[in-house]
Each structure stands twice: as structure tokens, then as C-alpha cells.
Structure 1
């Protein structure tokens, strides 16, 4: 706190007496001794002026002397007695009372230098205290950045800001999504409005600071107050790089976890059960206990991935999530039944704004987890074709797509190449479009005119192409067995993805 006239009056070592009351809590800028008739040209305001009244011997009136000081809004006037029998002039007391300038009596045993020394001591102590407080503040901030858990680190920063400023603090990401806060939870619409305004007008809010990556706002740090003082603004500014450090660590951890989660799903799909089991253990998942797979189709993949990670935390679920193409793949530890996972999938769809989700059967251990993943992928694709919603694995019974997806990829590749490689070679050399023509014909159920219309060709052109297909493959399109083989070969292209 700054030194005030009240502080000096309360100091028994100085022995000052109040003669004219006024604003005794105004911070004193400095202590000056002046015997000039007009000291105002040398003042900046809020000084305590000490005088023995020598200016009176030069004919200066007390009212003129005081008025000159009041033009600079001095904090007060101290009148020093040179002899014990002296007294403060009544004219000076009256002038101070009229002009609203506090007046104190300085006894003969108190030299002016004692007052100056006491003021400097208090100023030094204050500055030393401010420096210690700033060092402690920065030390606490740095300690929060060292927190192994980024969420805990951000909460610590918010608590430190609250402690230092006396106001609630909050931290959001660039979109206004709340990451940490103290005090009353800020309104969500307010935070989003602040984020939008800061993007348009970067300096529009004195109680908010933005962390930027180039022109993009990555985080906002704010105080729940309208007018921030210099100290609060300094504390806000100091917190920005620390929040940036915490978020950078969080991004590094998250990106590593995402990469490892992607490798886990790849290991399971590749039937590398031993390596997958070790990876599951590192995630806190037990490969020897029931787990279930959920796959969700999403439009905004990166946003959905972050939403899914937060959904797992919010639901208190032990699991991992990764992104493959435009699908989220989740493995969740579950000791219940598949119907329980169906409920998870329904809430997941809302949390990540998924177009569809698929649920695999409950896998008793890691040996069955690949089947659950494949089922979930196929169920998700079925959900997309149906126009959205959640599909559970039981609805896949009897579907050839699931049968293909569960096969060894080398077997599928060999089967497909035996039938389709000759057609693909022919198309590459002659631009014959035999593969897409065959797919369109079989998809239509063997309807000639419908297929021709779909391909936008004459029906005779279609007949010529399909005759070429039979010639190249050695299969007949009027034979059901051959049609099934060709259709399954075409479907293996989809099952690969």
C-alpha cells in the first residue's frame, strides 16, 4: 500500500498532530521541503509539503501560499515549529481549512529529514514487498506450468489470478469453450461473445488477454471485473505465456496419445494381439477384460476428435479414441453388455455431432476385439446408408460386408485380383471403364436400360462392354454363381477401407 498522511500521523516516532482535517488517505507521491512563496512550478501533485513559514518573512500571505499548493493538489502541508514556544499561525490554519488542504503540526523535536526518511523507508518496504509479491506470483505461475496434468495447471493459473486480484478468473480456448475458472462459472454465451469480439477488436476488453498463434486466438484469459487496475493488468499479461506453455504441453501429450491410440487400433485390426495387449495396458485398459468398440462417422473430423476425448472424460469412461479417415474409432472398457455400449453410442453421437455410429459386440478379451471393431465399422457404414442413427452389431447378421471384413486381407486380395485384375489392366490400357460398368450393372440387379441410363450410354454400348467383361474374366453374367463371385470381388474394394 502507498504511504498516506494518516500513516505518518499514526507513527508515534514522528509525533505529528492534525490541525486541519481532510483526505488523509490520499497516497503521498513524495515529501518536499519548501520555503518558496509559490512552489507549484516544481510540484507534480500529491506531495506532502513541509515548511517552517520563512516565506511569511518575505510578505507572502498564508492564503496565497496555500492556494498555490492547492493548484497542484498536494496531499497535505506540514508546519514545523522552530521553537517550543512558537505556534502555527491562525491565518495558515484558516487558509488550509478554506482550501481543503490537510494541515499537520511538526513538533520542534521532529526534524523534517525524519519525516522524509520514514516516507522513504515505507516506500522502500512497499517496493520490496511488491517485488517479493511479484516474484512469488511468478514462482507460483511457473509451478503451475510444471503440473503434469494440463487441466490442473490451468486451474492453478486461474486460482493464482483470483488470489492476486480478488476477482474470479477464467480461461477458455479460442472459441470461448471454458477450460478453467474460479468463482462463479461464467455464462457460456458471454464467453463466446468475448471470443468473437476479441477476434474482431483485439484490444476491446481490458479485463481479457488473448494468447495468439499468428492471427489465430488459441486461448483467452479473463477476470470477472469491468475495470482492471494496473496490477490486475500486469498479472493478466504475465499469465499469458504460462497458459501458452501449459496448452503447448497439453497439445504435445494429446498428439502423442492420439498417435498411440491410432497405432493400437491398427495393431488390433492387423491381428497383432500381443503388441496390442501391451499398448492397451499403457492406456490403463485390461486386454483380458471385456471391451467394446464404437465407430462414429463425422463431418468435422478434428473437432469431433477433441469432442470425443472430452466426452470420454465427462462420462468417466476408461477408453481410447482415434481418427481414421472420417470415422472415430473408440475402444471402451465395459463389464456390462453390448446394450450398455449402445447407450454410450447414442450419447456419443450427440456429443460429437456424428452422422451415424456403429456398435460392435462385447469382446471378452483382446482375441475378440478385432471382431468388435470390424462389426462397429460395418454397423456405422450401415447407419450412414440408412441416413443416420446408431446401429448395433446384431443388425449386421447375414450381411456379406461383415463376412468380408472379418476375412484375412491376403485371402481377400488374392480373390479380388483373380477376378478384377484383368479388368483393371484392360481399363488402364484401353480406357474401357469395364470395372465401373460391371459394378453399375450388378448394383442395378442386372437391369440393362437402368444401367445404361445411369452410365449415360446407349444400351448397345452397355452390351458391348459387358460382353468384353465376360471375355476378359471368363465368367458369364447370366450365371448366378459367377455374378456372386464378381460382386464379392467388387465389395472387397470397399472392405479394405
Structure 2
């Protein structure tokens, strides 16, 4: 840092300190030097600049007036240059600087102001070179840390070698990615995650208890993914510290992009496993190898569970798959976890009774619910299979059980068999068969509704939901009973199924359920 003291200590400049100014003034940063002979240089003088003057203005202004103008501009101090006509600094100048607590330095008549300017330029050049060398050295260290797999923790460790500041990395889901000298509470991390959703993102975040963190954004592939936090206010950080933190944030962005790419590959890898299981014999030979890649023994007993949030059509949230993965890591259990648009499926080794799956599923729902406050998680249990060859049925059952729980609410955990025998039968058939069955039965009603603007599909669904009671159905649909009777006659005419016959009602009900089951 270029300071007045560094100038005074330079023996080649023949400088003499006349007034020290306020405490610490000699050690504060000087931005640049400014040569002037104007009585009032304040309009042209920058803050923290050092004034160089020969006192030519003394013919037009008093020393106190000149010094007052310099102080008003926020200058760092004055260097008064002696000359043949003025062999010593005027006493009025010394007294004015002392009264204003402004540093005053005297320079000999044989030393030109250009020598001071060259000294300042040389000092700034050395500082700039040192800063660049430090940035290059730090960049090499950061690159080495990432290439060796140290991740975000390695980046913070490199920073802490140069700057003793508390640091943390928090992602947009409020999770702690890494920390060094900072221990954020769950509430503080949640506050960070919420503020990262602001547009534009904040420069500082209030963490409560009079603690404020400076924010350096971490992004990948055009998105904001996390924040590097320094538990210091921006105004309390030096230029070097800011530059280092910004540099570290860029390296963290590279690490985030790499992790996202790896994670995307893992998710696709896991999703392909589900496709292999559902494909049946065509790809069953690939399933064991894929399970081994996740550390799951395909030759042993395996269980399947599916998790989602309540609410019809509720999508999965960013971070849900990771939350399920972290649960099984905490359980010290290998698992193949795959996320879809509506649920997350986990295939895990299971050598205990199926009844114990309830306890596992309950803990899983609780752990995920804690990670996503305000959301209710449900887990469908598909049961177990002797080995990888028998995974199709547990997989279908777990997803269907999860689907029903998500729509109906009620208990957060259930097995497929607990949710109704007709859904058990539906789950035993492949999707194409069920779609074809629904199309055959409901197709004529859908076509009539599309052409005439009628509500035959809604009518039969409401009729069956109300147990075949005419009055209750008519009231639910806000129509007259005669209107309902005419609609049911048309349904019988189009489908060939009489709603008064139990077996025909079953066909219509299963067609509606199959249509909803497989879309």
C-alpha cells in the first residue's frame, strides 16, 4: 500500500515531516499525487490524493484558506516544495496543517516534484506486480486444489492461507457446501438461500445478531447456484481481499459446473436403470451391472421405495434426489436413487422382513420433510425381490403407491397392497395394455364430449364416486335428475355397458382408474 510514511522513509526524496496529522494518517492509503498552485484546488482534487505545491498561491490566499480547501476535498496530505525565493515552509502553513490535523511534508529545493511522482508510480507498479503475481500464485493453488479433488473446501483453504477471514459456501437450497472459520446455523443458511432468489442478487446478507456477510456469487451454466460468503462487511474488506474472493468465486463456479455435469450423468445413469427394469426381458441382462455401479449387490434381496410430495401432479423439487441420496448415505446403506418428474425411486439392499420397510420409509419421509419445510413427503413401499431379476413388480408397486398417497393424502407411508386391490391388479399389467383398455371403454365418450361439448366422462366418474346414487350425483353436478338419466342412457348406448349392472360398472371404473394411472 502506498502511504505518506513510505514516501518519508525514502531517503532519495529528501522529505521532512513537519506535521503528522491525526493518528494513523501517515499509514493510510494514498491514491495518487496532485500538483497544484490554485488557491482552491478542491474542484479538481480527488479524495485521498496527495497535494504537491510550491506555495505560488500565497500571493492570492492565506495558508489557512488553502489548507481548508484541501481538507474539504478529502486529500491525504500536503507536500510543500521549497524554492530559492522560499527557503523554508511558512509558519502559517505549518500552523494551519496542525490545526486541521492534516499531514505536512517538506521537500528540498533540489528535488523536483517529478521525483515524488516517479516514486509513487514505482510503488504502484510494484504493488500491481505483486498483486498480479499473488493472483497467479493463488490461481495455480486453486487449480491444483480442484484438480486433486479438494473441491470447495480446498478453495477455502487456499484463501485462508492469505487472508484470515471467516468463509462459507452455501447453495441455493440452503445447504452448507464448505466452511472455514464460519459456522452458520440452519436459519442463517435458509436466509442466504432466500436472498439468493432476489433479482438482482444481494451484495451483502444480514445473518441476524448484527452479523453481516459479503456475497460473492457462484454460478454454473448461466445460473446462480451458490454463494461464497465472507463474514465481513464489504466496506471492511481491502481491495486485495475482494480480488481474492472474486477469484475464488470464479474457481468455485468451475467446480460447480463440473459437479453439475457429473451429477447429470449420474441421474441419467440411474434413470436408465429404471427403464431397464421396466423393459422386462429385453434389457434385464443390463440391470445387475448397473446396480453394481451404485454399490448395490444384484444377487441379494432388494427393496424399492418411491418418494414424492403431496398434491396431485406435484413435481419434484431441485435437490430432492440429492436429499434422498444423503439419507441413505447417513444410513450407511448403498442405494440406486433415480429422480423423475413426479417421484424419486430408491433401490436398496434389503435382508430384513418387509414389515421393517415401514420404519425405513417413515425415517426417509421425515428426513426429506426436514430438508423442505412446508412440504409433506409421502413414501410408497413396493416390497422386496429376491434379486435384480424380480425388481419390476416392486418398482411398479412403489411408484403406484406413491402416486395414490400423493393424490389422496392420509398416512405418509403405505405399501401397494394397503391401497386397494383394484390398484394392485392395475399395477400388475403393463402400461400399453391398460391404455388400450381405457381407450376402448372411454374412447366413444371422449369423442362425444369433444364433438358435442358434453360431459359424459365427468358424469360417469361422478356417478361412480357417489356409489351410483342418482340424487347425490345430480346435486354434485348441479343438474336435474332427468338430465343425469339421459346422460347415463347415452353412456350405455356408446360404451355398450349398462351402469345398472355391477360388472359393467366395474369395467367403467377400472377404465377411469387405468386412464389416470398411466395417463
Gap change, CA 1:75 and 1:392, over 3 Å in 2: same
Does residue 468 (structure 1) correspond to residue 511 (structure 2)? The answer is: no
Q: Which residue of 2 aligns with 1:224?
A: 231
Q: Where in structure 2 are the equivalents of 1:43-442 lying within 5 Å? A: 47=50, 72=70, 96=94, 99-100=97-98, 122-141=123-142, 153-163=151-161, 165-174=163-172, 178-186=176-184, 187-188=188-189, 190-191=191-192, 194-195=195-196, 198-199=198-199, 207-210=214-217, 218-228=225-235, 229=237, 231=239, 232-239=241-248, 241-271=250-280, 272-298=283-309, 299=311, 304-313=317-326, 316=329, 318-336=334-352, 337-348=356-367, 350=369, 351-352=371-372, 353-354=375-376, 356-384=378-406, 386-393=408-415, 396=418, 399-408=421-430, 416=437, 421=440, 424-425=443-444, 428=447
Contact kept? 2:97, 2:104, Cα under 8 Å: no
Unaligned runs of 5+ in 1: 83-87
Gap change, CA 1:116 and 1:406, over 3 Å in 2: same
Deviation at 1:281, TM superposition (A): 2.9
Gap change, CA 1:460 and 1:128, over 3 Å in 2: closer
Please list the CA deviations of residues 423-472 of structure 1 after superposition, one character each: whole Å capped at 9, or x if unmatched: 634763686977666555555545455455556452542563465368x3
3-state DSSP class of the match of 1:361?
Answer: strand
Please list the CA deviations of residues 287-343 of structure 1 after superposition, one character each: whole Å capped at 9, or x if unmatched: 234432222332585553513413422552533444444333333445554244223
Please list the CA deviations of residues 240-272 of structure 1 after superposition, one character each: whole Å capped at 9, or x if unmatched: 544444434444333333333322222212223
Deviation at 1:357, TM superposition (A): 2.2
Aligned-partner Cα distance in 2 for 1:490–1:71 = 87
Aligned-partner Cα distance in 2 for 1:454–1:48 = 88
Deviation at 1:133, TM superposition (A): 1.1
Deviation at 1:132, TM superposition (A): 0.5
Deviation at 1:405, TM superposition (A): 0.8
Kindly name which structure, 1 or 2, has the bigger radius of gyration based on alpha carbons.
1
Gap change, CA 1:70 and 1:142, over 3 Å in 2: farther
Select which of 25, 28, 31 maps to 2:27: 25
Of 390-399 and 129-138, the range deviating more from structure 2: 390-399
Normalization by structure 2: what TM-score?
A: 0.67
Contact kept? 2:304, 2:383, Cα under 8 Å: yes
Of 400-409 and 156-165, the range deviating more from structure 2: 156-165
How many equivalent residue pairs? 474
Contact kept? 1:27, 1:75, Cα under 8 Å: no
Contact kept? 1:308, 1:348, Cα under 8 Å: no
3-state DSSP class of the match of 1:199?
Answer: coil
Contact kept? 1:47, 1:76, Cα under 8 Å: yes
Contact kept? 1:312, 1:318, Cα under 8 Å: no
